[in-house]
Structure 1
């Protein structure tokens, strides 16, 4: 389509013709094949001597062909290749990415964190089976790298479609962060959120960003819709969920392109496709072709050669032009500046999502909606590092909050001390009682009389015995020679013969 419209519609390369050679780099199952892409690139270079490559789109295929293209000094224009590694200008000198890239998504996340003062930590959870082109891994790595570069602690966890992984995800969220980015197929995301609702008692303290760049979950503006009859009130937990998508162009040229694209797909390939954000990627390929043609025309106008791939590539750096996908701008690494949309639950009753903001990748700013807003469950954005939740980040919390083992140890120690003191007191009491029980000199209270002994007849022997030195109550001197004064208070009434 771009080649057909190049001269008559865009007025580029008038008087020149472009020969296109089409190849598929997929295997028999329709999966991207890195080895096949390399072989096609080498054979094409050897037998056809191309001036440029358009595609492939898959990351690993772009990487392998891109190294060859840079070595041959041939431009490689693609709307794929989202991975962060392609910013390496030494290894990939001639790659031009006219589609979205992970670094631009990372820039968007950075602006979001600055907006809500999330400067400490975040977590990243992505689906990764490591048997395909790993789209969710490469899409999310930009957030990890950009936030890390800004001294934000970012912990990442890959997962697969298994109940054991989902349980691990919930534990990971509890232990590592409150600002969460999840990238994976919609069905796995719903499973995560269902378990999240049953296991997390305070969902209002979380902000969950679902990276659904093609808006697959927003077909009815209700990403919580599911067929699980046992899931009660999913709307409640989704109040903490925001969705990030690519921003669909709203210019009239894009709508015309989209309509023509669907007609050609049906006519040329007998494929019926519905409008979606996938069309945006096709539009990026279209604009990439036009961008190359403009750079080639400028090179030829200055006396250059169509084989001067380095010069042509450099002309596409920091470029700005209007394409079918709207304003197209590139950076110094020949990567397109990408726009994104931010969606949130704007109707708390029906659970319908609305557009609350969009990110302008060219100006690196967020434009907030004048009619819709984020309804945070707590009335304000959650904290990324709540006090005393992640103790490793806040050592002062250790003074007032002991870990569970510490509490158990202190409690056990106090119990042992109390038991020891109690045992000692009981033992001491029993010992004293035993000693008192063995003292034969003790007399009973009722054996004492407090009246004059003259009322009772007594034997002289008894009086003599009591009057001996040291025995008389009126004695002024003890057996040790120390003076003490005693007063008579009572008399022991037992007779001498009774002793």
Structure 2
């Protein structure tokens, strides 16, 4: 039986100066008890869907809504503190994020942590939040293994859900065997395609669907085509659009009858699908366009679905306006707004869980004590929040 290779997650404790906390303005009300919520997110690298300039405006909107509702958390007011999870190169750091969590815990004793988003940094922070019994809410942390962390509530799309979707597709068409997983994993990144493939692998394996997985590195496309022909007919690929297009063109050059295959291209965050004009992932304006276009007839693109509701459209417009106002940041790729919406919903869900928990308690005189973290977490699980 194949076992999925798991990278080592080792916490590196570095001697560094702690980054300064930042507070969002106007998020506290005089005369009531403050409840601290702590966010740990990338500060400047907006290529991350959960970067602070993208998510901060959504959290501010949720905070304003919660604190302006006299019935939601009577006698309490949420206040948001923030720390950066990036290293000096602007990348998600599995050492900076947990150190930021420790500083926030010691300085502010937050009742909930929001973020991180990246897999490795989230994994390390989740270990601390479990030790402190403090809920951790994120719309990132999409990897398979986060179901093992008892304090984590994920309000965004996860790779486990991706695997369950693939299993439903396999069942619907009677594809019981011979699935192929292709993925890239660049040195120094957060391994998004590796973990996407891991979610597929584990769910399909659990459904007794035999799989062949192949990491795309220094690709020999002709040999890869032969490997796929030998090992499957249903192919799930998570890689760059250029790598995927080149693979399909090689299939066409080799004269393979693509009607016998189906390709699912896992397009994380809808890369390239929001360009102006018609959606043509095969098009490059070169001599291989015709072959690529014909080969792409066997391709299904899997990506996030954005709700077309008026409420969601208004949320995205407000988010763009507030990102420009608060961070002088212009949002152009609106699919990332789903992640920001996940953080918004997460803070709202936490507030509702806190409301329900406190309503079941009879606190004595003095400040309201922080409820048990596992109680709050379990009240957030398996619930649907309609969002905006």
Please give the TM-score of this superposition, normalised by the length of structure 2.
Answer: 0.78
- Residue 156 of structure 1 aligns to a residue in which SS? strand
Question: Which residue, 116, 131, 137 being the options, matches 1:56?
Answer: 116
Alignment partner, residue 310 of structure 2: 252
- Within 2, Cα distance between the matches of 1:241 and 1:69? 42
Alignment partner, residue 468 of structure 1: none
Question: Which residue, 215, 218, 222 being the options, matches 1:158?
Answer: 215
Question: Which residue, 361, 364, 370 being the options, matches 1:306?
Answer: 370
Q: CA deviation at 1:230?
A: 4.1
Distance 1:249 1:11, change over 3 A: farther
More relative contact order in 1 or in 2 (CA 8 Å, sep 6+)?
2
- Within 2, Cα distance between the matches of 1:187 and 1:15? 55
Q: CA deviation at 1:260?
A: 0.7
Matching of residues 435-454 of structure 1 within 5 Å: none
Question: Which residue, 237, 241, 255 being the options, matches 1:186?
Answer: 241
Q: CA deviation at 1:198?
A: 1.4
- Within 2, Cα distance between the matches of 1:47 and 1:165? 53
Structure number, greater radius of gyration: 1
- Within 1, Cα distance between the matches of 2:284 and 2:235? 22
- Residue 303 of structure 2 aligns to a residue in which SS? strand
- Map Cα deviations across residues 151-200 of structure 1 (whole Å, 9 max, x no partner): 1111100113x3x3434422221211110000012222222222222124
Q: CA deviation at 1:9?
A: 6.6
1:173 matched to 2:233? The reply is no
Instruction: Name whichever of 72-81 and 143-152 sits farther off.
Output: 143-152
Does the Cα contact within 8 Å between 2:85 and 2:92 map onto a contact in 1? yes
Instruction: Name whichever of 220-229 and 45-54 sits farther off.
Output: 220-229
1:134 matched to 2:191? The reply is yes
Matching of residues 272-421 of structure 1 within 5 Å: 272-303=330-361, 305-324=369-388
- Within 2, Cα distance between the matches of 1:46 and 1:200? 64
Distance 1:165 1:75, change over 3 A: farther
- Within 2, Cα distance between the matches of 1:51 and 1:227? 54
**Alignment root-mean-square deviation, CA:** 1.8
- Residue 187 of structure 1 aligns to a residue in which SS? helix
- In structure 2, the gaps of 5 or more residues are 1-60, 364-368
Question: Which residue, 146, 153, 166 being the options, matches 1:96?
Answer: 153
1:17 matched to 2:17? The reply is no
Distance 1:251 1:8, change over 3 A: farther
Does the Cα contact within 8 Å between 1:214 and 1:276 map onto a contact in 2? no
Distance 1:168 1:66, change over 3 A: farther
- Within 2, Cα distance between the matches of 1:286 and 1:50? 18
Distance 1:140 1:11, change over 3 A: farther
User: What count of residue pairs does the alignment treat as equivalent?
Assistant: 319
Does the Cα contact within 8 Å between 1:296 and 1:306 map onto a contact in 2? no
- Residue 221 of structure 2 aligns to a residue in which SS? helix
1:35 matched to 2:95? The reply is yes
Alignment partner, residue 110 of structure 1: 167
Question: Which residue, 253, 271, 275 being the options, matches 2:329?
Answer: 271
- Within 1, Cα distance between the matches of 2:345 and 2:239? 28
Distance 1:279 1:200, change over 3 A: farther
Question: Which residue, 128, 150, 165 being the options, matches 1:68?
Answer: 128
- Residue 79 of structure 2 aligns to a residue in which SS? coil
Please give the TM-score of this superposition, normalised by the length of structure 1.
Answer: 0.61
Alignment partner, residue 145 of structure 1: 202
- Map Cα deviations across residues 247-283 of structure 1 (whole Å, 9 max, x no partner): 1122222111100111111111111111421110110
- Within 2, Cα distance between the matches of 1:177 and 1:2? 47
Instruction: Name whichever of 38-47 and 298-307 sits farther off.
Output: 298-307
- Within 2, Cα distance between the matches of 1:10 and 1:205? 61
Question: Which residue, 141, 146, 151 being the options, matches 1:81?
Answer: 141
Distance 1:224 1:312, change over 3 A: same
Distance 1:159 1:306, change over 3 A: same
Distance 1:197 1:101, change over 3 A: same
- Within 1, Cα distance between the matches of 2:220 and 2:101? 39
